[in-house]
Amino acid sequence: MSINSRLLIGSAAGAIALAAAMPAVAQEAAQASVDEPSNAEIIVTGIRGSLQRNMEIKRTSSGVVDAISAEDIGKFPDANVADALQRLPGISIQRSGARGEANGVTVRGFGGDFNDTQFDGRHLSTASGGRAVDFTTIGSDFVSNISVYKTPDVELGASAIGATINVALPKPFDSADSKFAVKASGAVQDRSGKVTPSGAALASTRFADDTMGILAYAAYRRVDTETNQVFIPGWIGNYFYQCQAQAACQTSDFTPAKKNVLGWFPQQVGANQITTKDERIDGRLAYQWQASDDVLLTLDGNFTRQTLNTATYGYGAWFNGDDLRNVKQDGNGTVVDFNQFGTPMDFNASLARTINQTYMFGGNLKWDASDRLSFDFDASLSRSVLNPGRNGYQNAMDIGYGGTNADPNGPFLSTGCSYPAGATPTTAPTSCTNYSTILGANTGVKIGGPSSDFLPSIHDVGPGGDVSRFTDKSLIGSHVIAGFPNYFTNLVKQIKIGGKWDGDNLKVHFGGSFQENKYHQEGESPFVNGTFFRYGGYGAPSGRTGAVAPLPDSIYQGIISTNNFIPGYQGNLAPAIIKYDPVAVYKVLEATGRGTTAPAFNPDSVLNVKEQTFAAYLRINFESEIGDMPFKVSAGVRDEYTKLTSGAIGRNPVNLITVPTDPTLIQVGSFTPQQLIERSISYNYVLPSLDVKLEVKPNLILRFDASRTLTRPALGDLRPTINLGTLRKGSLAASGGNAGLKPYLADNLDLGVEWYYGSNSYFAVNGFMKFISNFIVGGVSTQTINGVVDPFTNQPAQFQVNSKVNGPDGVVRGVEIAWQQVFGETGFGFNANATLVNTNRNFDTSDISGSAFAITGLANSANLVAFYDKNGLEVRVAGNWRDKYLLGLGQGQGGTFGAEPVNVNKQFQIDASASYQVTKQLSVFVEGTNLNNSNYSTYGRFSNMSLDTFNYGRRFVFGARFNY
C-alpha cells in the first residue's frame, strides 16, 4: 500500500476515533435532541436555520458537497459571496489588495481558474481571459444558497479540478405566498470616514390560481476604500560584476568573465495611496408557469454591472542591475542594500475607470413524462464585457526629477562598453560610458528582515540627495505617460438536455449538452504611437530636453504624508506623496503642440478564441444494504469533446532603438507587416466518477469517492503569437501563448467519515488526493527574435521569452476537518473547520533553470464562527486564518530565471455581525470586517523579498431589513 493511500485511510480511521472522543460538553448539550423523532420541527430562519439546511445538503448528497444558505430572504451570511464561502472546509479566499475584498476562492488549493462557477447549473461568462469569476461582481443580497461540489456531479459537469460552485438564485415558486423584502444600509471604512449607501428590494408573487409566478429584484451597492500600498513589482534575477560590491568600477572590471555573482535585486520600489469607489447594480427577473401537473416552465434573466473608479497617487524609484554599487547580499543572493548613482524620483498619478458587465438569459422546461420518467431542457446565454462601449479609461502620468546624462567627463562609469574584435569572455572593453547627474540621488533600498514585519527601506532620496526638497515643485518636470485601457468580451451559449428514470432502488440519469465559448480581447498602448515617452525626461532642471518643466501650480492638489503608512511594520519610506491631476498635466503637455497624450490601438493585444464542447453523461444511482446498513452507490461517466480555434495578429520587430528622453528605455523602431495567425486543436476525454456512501448507523456515514476531472487552459494563454514586453537596458522581455495547450487532468480520491451526533451538530473528516497531469507551466528561454540588435550592446538582442507548455505531473494531498455544534436551546453554537494540505511539487528556490514548477494555492487554513441566535438577537464572530502560500508564478517585473514566485504571508482576520428582530417583519443589523486591521502582504523567492504590502483598514456596515 502506498504512503498516499495510507494517508487517506489513516485520516478516516483517525476521524472515527476522534469523533468517539468528542468533548463531554458537546455530547451532553445534544443528548436530548439525539432521541428526537425524525419529524421534529426544523428552524427555518436565522443562523441555526441556515446551518441546519447546510448540514442536510451535506448529509444527503451522494458526493462530497458543502453549502452556504441564506438565513432568510435577503439575509445571506456575508455581503461578499467569497467571504461566505471561506467559512467552509477546504476553501480559502484571494483578496484584491487595493480594495481588500475577496475576489476569488481557492478550493483544496486550486484557485479560480480551476473552479467552475455556475448560476442555477449554467456556466457563467467572465471577461477576464481566465476561467475564474470575480466574486466582487456577484451580489449576495438575494442568493438562496451556494453549493460547492468537491467531487463532480456529471450532470453539472466535470470541468473543475477544484470544485463546481453552483449559485442558486430565487424563483417565484420557492414560496407558496407572495414575498416582499427591502434592505437598506450604509458602509464606512475607518480611514475614509465616508458613509456610502446600499439598498436592495425583492418582490415575488403567484397568480392565475397559483399556476404562474413572477419575481423581480434589484440591488445597488457602493463601497469606498482608501488603501495604502508599499510595493516592489518584481525581483530581477541577475549576475552582477564582481566590482559592484564596491563604490565604483573601472573599465577593466567589465569583462564578461567577471559578471558571475548571482543575485536578485528590486527593479523598482515605491508607495501608493489608492482610493476606490466600487459601485454595483444587480437585477433579476424570473417567471414560472406550471402549465400542468407534469410541466413547469421557468424563464429568467440576470444582470450585473460593476463600475470601479480608482485614483492612485504615489512615488517610485527605478533601478538597473548593472548600475548598482555597494551591493550587499545575504546568503540566498538577495540584495539587501545598495546605492545607485543619479537615481530619478517619479511621482505617479492615475485616474481610472473599469466597468465589468454581465447578463445571463435562460429558459428551463421540466416535464414529468410518467411517474418514473422525467426530462429537463435548459438553454442559456451569458455575455460579459470589460468596458462595454470601450468606455473604460486609464489616465496615468509620471512626473519627477533626476536621472543620469551621458557625459564623457562624468564621475560614474557604467556599462554600454565597446570590445575589440575577437574579444573573449576575459577580454576587457576598450571603453565604457560615463554619466553625470544634476538632480539624481545616490538612492538605495535596504531590506531589514522578513516581509511579514519589514517594509523595504528607501534611503538617500531627494534632489541631489537633499530630502528636505523631496517635493520641491520648482524642480519637477513631465516624464512618461502610461495608460493601457482594455476591451474584453466573453459570450457563452449553452444547451442541456437531461432525463431521469426513477426506479424503486435504481435511478438512471442521462443527457447531453453543447457549450460554445467565444472570447475576444483588444487594448490600447502608449508605446504604439510614442505617447509613452513623448514628453519624458524631467526637463531642464534635470539637464534633459523634451519634457515640460517646471509644471504649473494648478496641477497640484496636495501632499500625502507617509507617516505610519502601514501600521505594525518597520522600515523607512520617502517622506511624502504628491497628489496631482494627471488630466490637467495632459492639457499642459498638449498645449505645447507636440502631439497627443492618448494611447493608440495595439494590434499585438488582439486575441480571438472560439471553444466548442459537446458532452454526454450517464449516471446510475443504486441503493441496497450491507447487513442492516444502507449502502448507496452513484456511478457516472461524462464524455467531453472540445474543438478550439485561436487567432491573433502577428508581427516581428525589424529594429530596436534607444529613446533620448528615457536613457534606459528601448523602443521598437519598426515592425514587419501584420498578418493573422490562427491555430486549431481538438481533444476528447472520458471522465468517470464513483460515489459510495455507507450508513454504518443512522448518524454515522462513511464515504468513498473516485473521479477524473479536467480544467481547460485559461483563454488568454491560447495566443498563437509572441508579444514583446517593456524593453529596457539589460531587460528584454517577451511572452508567448500556446494554442496547442491541453487541459489539466486530475484523478481524484476522497475518503471521509461524518458523525451527526445531535440536532444541527456534526463532526466530519475527509481525506483527499489529487493526481494531476498536463500541468501548464511557464518556461523561460533566451532567444533572438528576427535577428534584431540590442542598441546598448550592438549584439543580437537576447530576449527572455516566457511561454506556456503542458509539463509535469503533481500530487496534492489533504485532510479537511469540520465541526458544527449547537448547544441545545441555549442559542449558542459554533462552526469550525481546518484544512491541512501538502504536495510533492513545492517551488525550489535554488532552481534558476527557467523552468521551475510548483503547484500554487496550497495553504493550511482554519475558520471559527461562534454565534448566538435566540429571541430575535443574532450575534456572530468569525475568525479566518490562512498560512503562507504560493499564490502564483510570475511577478510584475522580472523573469530572467523563469517565472518568479509570488507568495502570500500568513493572515488572520476577524469579522463580526449582529442583528435584532424589532418586529416579525423588521430587523436592524451591524457588521464589521477586518476588525483586527489585518494587512495583506506578498513576497518573492525568499521571505525577505517584499513585493506588495497593503493596509485597507476596517469596514463597518449598518442597516435594516424589512420582509413581508
Can you give the pLDDT at residue 340? 98
The cell numbers describing 779, all together, are 518556461
Neighbours of 567 (CB within 10 A): 10
List of the chain residues with pLDDT < 50: 1-44
pLDDT at 75: 67
SS3 29: helix
* Integer Cα distance of 311 and 588 in angstroms: 20
User: What per-residue confidence (pLDDT) applies to 74?
Assistant: 62
Per-residue model confidence (pLDDT) at position 5 = 37
What is the rounded distance in angstroms from the CA atom of residue 258 to the CA atom of residue 264?
17
855, β-bridge pairs? none
Per-residue cell: 814: 489533504
- What pLDDT sits at residue 279? 95
Write down the pLDDT at residue 73: 64
Query: Rounded to an integer, what distance in angstroms lies between the CA atom of residue 553 and that of residue 806?
Result: 55
Residue 390: the pLDDT is 92
Task: Name the residue type at position 584.
Answer: A
3-state secondary structure of 933: coil
Q: What angle do CA 305, 308, 311 make, to 5 degrees?
A: 170
Using an 8 Å Cβ cutoff, are 741 and 797 in contact?
no
414 residue type, one letter: S
> Exposed e or buried b for every residue in 232-241, given b needs 16+ CB within 10 A?
bbbbbbbebb
Q: Which residues contact 25 (CB under 8 A, 6 or more apart)?
A: none
Per-domain residue ranges of the chain: 233-278+292-368+393-484+526-598
- Is beta strand 164-168 parallel, antiparallel or unpaired with respect to 116-119? parallel
Strand segments (E) across 729-842? 731-736, 744-758, 761-773, 776-783, 799-806, 810-822, 828-839
